[in-house]
Chain A
Amino acid sequence: MARIFAVTIIVIAIVSAIPILRHTWWMAPDISTHGAPIDEQMSETMAEAGISFLASQILLAIFIWKFSQSRPGERIRTFPGGAMTMVIGAFLLVGTEVLALGAFGAKAWASIYFTAPAANAMPVQVQAGQFAFYFRYPGPDGKFGPIHPEMISEATQNVFGLDLDHDPDSKDDVVTAEMAVPVNREIHLLMHSKDVGHSFFVPELRVHQDFVPGLDLSVHFTANKVGRYEIVCTQLCGLGHYNMKAYLSVLSQEDFGNWLKQQASMQ
């Protein structure tokens, strides 16, 4: 029984590792300028976690195999070096490993979150609500008009609560249900939730940020590959959560200009 158990553990460990090694299911290819350190960090961590996983499971299996057989008359033996070696080993090896991971990880995180967007980054506002994203572009004046929560109405399609009669900045704002950005241009995404918590996740873009009601946050990124991607909500927001999604089109500068003009004409 013990031997079958040992073999089972080894088989499970190896079978579990195969899809990881083969990247059968893996992160979508990166289309951002900031994503490389994240991917590198993921690979480093996968290597270290994978080695720890395989080594520990195999050791467990070997010891079960070897020390479950009856050895009459033989006294128990103690692992050479005892527990102190293990404690020191854990502190030195694992301590160094996790501190290194932590330090490189913190650097990757800081490179994304501790840098301000460039002055010429293109502002886009995204508003999350049950169960849709809406986007707003500031128009030729470069300014967003203020949001008036009491005027927000899906019924009249004033999803941002804009007061076109009194706020001149709102007049040229372009509101869309899909997001488009020009390739290789930094985007400053201003995030607003109108009701409950939501999240903005585009796996290819390596961007994931919650919307916090009552607290407007922003992230910035540059997409470097033309294509059509999906924005999904990852913060449970109610019964339609699974269906809260929008498309993100990364377009050439020219296509983006045409798209924006077309959207403006439909306002």
Chain B
Amino acid sequence: MHDMSAHVHVAHHAPPTTFIRKYVFSLDHKVIGKQYYGLALLAALVGMFLSWLMRLHLGWTNLAIPGLHLLSSNGAPGNVMTPEYYLQLMTMHATIMVFFVLTTAPFAAFGNYFLPIQVGAEDMPFPRFNMMSFWVTFVAFFVLVSSFFVSDGPTLGGWTQYAPLSAVGKVAGPGEGTGVILWATSIGLFCIGQLLGALNFITTTLDMRTKGMSLWRLPLSTWGWFITSIMGLTAFAVLLPACVLLILDHVAGTSFFVPSNLVINDQLQPHSGGSTLLWQHLFWFFGHPEVYIAIVPGMGMISHILVVNMRRPMLSHRTLIYSFGALAVLSYMVYGHHMFVSGMNPVSSIAFSFPTLIITIPSTILVLVWLGSLYGAKLRINTASLFALGFVSMFISGGVSGFFLAQPSIDIMLHATYFVVGHFHMVMGVAAMFGIFAGTYFWFPKMFGRMMNETLGRIHFWLTFVGTYCIFMPFHYLGLAGNVRRYQAFVVDYMQPLVPVHKFITVAALLTGASQLIFVYNLIHSRFWGKPAPENPWQATSLEWSTPSSPPPFDNFGGKLPVVYHDPYQYGVEGSTGDYVMQDSPEQIQTVRDEA
């Protein structure tokens, strides 16, 4: 087990000397990680701003929002949002959040920065691929945002872009022409960026581990990123060709996703022979693993952060890793639960239902191991650990609603309702965001050499924790009452009594959103004026706290790679002088080992 892994010096490169090489086209994984973080932060602010506009409109449909016409004179004549503009904002909110925030921040940003350091490498093996990965993603974001500035605006088809609405062109509605082409180009580019990133993550984990760093000695955060990168490699490899086919349906006269005999605006469409369900299969083959791509890095990070703050290893390190792996494998076998009422063979619905229900088992094991590890721990409360514990609470809340959506018979009542919106916002939105926040408060001292303001951090936590429950719990009630999602107004008779609930949610969303500005202020203020960070502020054991400085030098360990002697989480060690032993400390100790 304690194999001394072969370490290959393939990534050695000289320190950058020019401004461009240092900060723009950098080959340094740490700079690329920060660039990803910056992009995700920008995207999150844009996405949140769009959600404010949407929520205002859902609470007060004919409300004039001052200045809205400046965003789009067609979309908001007299500052009142049109139905199509609502759908366009909704599509952009979802696409930006799912791809450019929930995928880039927990995986690409933190993974880039910390995976190489946690395995004890000086960089990733393919730094140029890594640089390309970020810049392709950067271009992808601006291609997507550029659709706000084309004549009929962005696509209105939702982040799922179901065909044939997305494939027949602008005859289907505003944004369904150029808007869709820009969307598919952006997402196609995004896939290329993530594929390049995934290759680097996998190779770094397998080939770049330092002496003594066996796979089982990797911290849980690295395991989260490693397993996610394997999912990314297979999932984005399916979405990329799907986007290419969608573009071809627009520009090359093909009909991959459009069947014969469609009549739109009294015009018989020229397409023939395509399949609309083909898009759904391709999309969800990517789409379900994507949920886990968003959440597994968070699971890894909060496990890592909890261990440090519980001052004890997890009840079972390996059980957590096997559970991450089980989620990854199962995530490919369950995608059909998005399609129970799609017209797919009803026998398939049952076949997809059982693996979906079985995913409850590794998820339950994760929660039980987190809870069981809290038992008897010496829990330290700080902003990072509050967000990590908040993640567990959100994951429980978002997880139990999965019981319902896994069953086709119940899906008859809940499909495409706000219940689904509540479910995925809790589990892949809020829980994943809590992972990002926990990671930020925990690693900020390492990334910038300064501490974040703890008081502001706690205020941010409290407002976010209570606020997100106020927003997303009522979504489930709305869904039970049959409130359909993706409606810009509730003109259906039975939905009108639900409008007050929407008003409540809107107020909660505005307040919770505003409290995120405290976080942004804290980030910026602490970056320049925060207290200088001690070498190892959390008394943690893993290799990122063994670098000679914060932030680490360009080659991470100052020219001398560490040698690893211990399992990653040696806390509460019998016979040691302190309550923890660093992974690269040569001190001879009785290893703290879990029994599973």
Are the CB atoms of B87 and A161 closer together than 8 Å? no
Give the residue of B258, B469, B480 whose beta carbon is less than 8 angstroms from that of A26: B480
Query: Residues 113-148 of chain A: 1 if any B CB is under 8 Å from the residue's CB, otherwise 0?
Result: 110000000000000011000000000000000000
Q: Which A residues are in CB contact (< 8 Å) with B466?
A: 8, 12
Instruction: Tell me the minimal C-beta distance from B454 to chain A in angstroms.
Output: 11
Q: Which of B226-283 contact A (CB under 8 A)?
A: 258-264, 266, 268, 274-277
Q: Which A residues are in CB contact (< 8 Å) with B1?
A: none
How distant is the Cα of A257 from the Cα of B155 in the complex, in angstroms? 45
Give the residue of B174, B491, B498 whose beta carbon is less than 8 angstroms from that of A243: B491
Q: A90-B361, A234-B416 are in contact. Are A77 and B484 (CB under 8 A)?
A: no
Chain B residue at smallest Cβ distance from A197: B162
Query: Residues 50-61 of chain A: 1 if any B CB is under 8 Å from the residue's CB, otherwise 0?
Result: 101100110110
Are the CB atoms of A203 and B413 closer together than 8 Å? yes
How distant is the Cα of A234 from the Cα of B413 in the complex, in angstroms? 11
Interface size on A, residues (CB 8 A): 104
Q: Which B residues are in CB contact (< 8 Å) with A75?
A: 572
Chain A residue at smallest Cβ distance from B402: A49
Query: Residues 80-112 of chain B: 1 if any A CB is under 8 Å from the residue's CB, otherwise 0?
Result: 001110010000000000000000000000000
Are the CB atoms of B413 and A106 closer together than 8 Å? no
How distant is the Cα of A1 from the Cα of B390 in the complex, in angstroms? 14
Query: Residues 225-246 of chain A: 1 if any B CB is under 8 Å from the residue's CB, otherwise 0?
Result: 0000010111111111111010
Q: A42-B413, A45-B410, A230-B493 are in contact. Are A60 and B268 (CB under 8 A)?
A: no
How distant is the Cα of A19 from the Cα of B487 in the complex, in angstroms? 24
Give the residue of B312, B371, B498, B571 whose beta carbon is less than 8 angstroms from that of A63: B371
Instruction: Tell me the minimal C-beta distance from B324 to chain A in angstroms.
Output: 14
Q: Which B residues are in CB contact (< 8 Å) with A241?
A: 87, 486-488
Instruction: Tell me the minimal C-beta distance from A210 to chain B in angstroms.
Output: 5
Q: Which B residues are in CB contact (< 8 Å) with A78?
A: 315, 375-376
Q: Which B residues are in CB contact (< 8 Å) with A203?
A: 413, 482, 494
Give the residue of A2, A94, A112, A238 whose beta carbon is less than 8 angstroms from that of B156: A238
Are the CB atoms of A25 and B168 closer together than 8 Å? no
Instruction: Tell me the minimal C-beta distance from B381 to chain A in angstroms.
Output: 5
Chain A residue at smallest Cβ distance from B386: A5
Q: Which A residues are in CB contact (< 8 Å) with B368?
A: 86, 89-90
Are the CB atoms of A236 and B277 closer together than 8 Å? no
B-contacting residues of A (Cβ < 8 Å)? 1-2, 5, 8-9, 12, 16, 19-20, 24-28, 37-38, 41-42, 45-46, 48-50, 52-53, 56-57, 59-60, 63-64, 67-68, 70-71, 74-79, 82-84, 86-87, 89-91, 94-95, 98-99, 101-102, 105-106, 108-110, 112-114, 129-130, 149-150, 152-155, 161, 194-197, 199, 201, 203, 206-215, 217, 230, 232-243, 245
